[in-house]
């Protein structure tokens, strides 16, 4: 689940929970809204965690490696 999908689920859940005033028999629209907000919140946390971990891996892998050529005279200040 990506960041955009999580935000979309939170928005749809909030609309169902707070803006819809229709009452139905058989299921409760407000409960579905709360469930969508919870799923969106969990997805948001997992997306942010994944993005943070991927950023750490990328930075660790892209560090320049110091290389000294034995045939080239060393620079001394």
Tokens read off for 11: 């928005």
pTM, rounded to two decimals: 0.68
pLDDT per residue over 13-66, tens digit each?
999 999 998 888 888 999 999 999 999 999 999 999 998 888 666 565 556 666
DSSP string across the chain: --HHHHHHHHHHHHIIIII-----SSS-HHHHHHHHHHHHHHHHHHHHHHHHHHHHHHHHHTPPPP---TTSPPP--
Q: Output the pLDDT for position 52.
A: 86
CA distance 13 to 29: 9
């Amino acid at each position: 689940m990506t960041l955009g999908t999580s935000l979309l689920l939170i928005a749809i859940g909030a609309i169902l929970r707070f803006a819809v005033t229709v009452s139905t028999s058989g299921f409760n629209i407000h409960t579905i809204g709360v469930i969508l907000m919870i799923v969106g919140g969990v997805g948001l946390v997992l997306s942010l965690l994944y993005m943070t971990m991927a950023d750490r891996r990328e930075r660790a892998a892209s560090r320049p490696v110091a290389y000294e050529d034995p045939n080239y005279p060393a620079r001394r200040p």
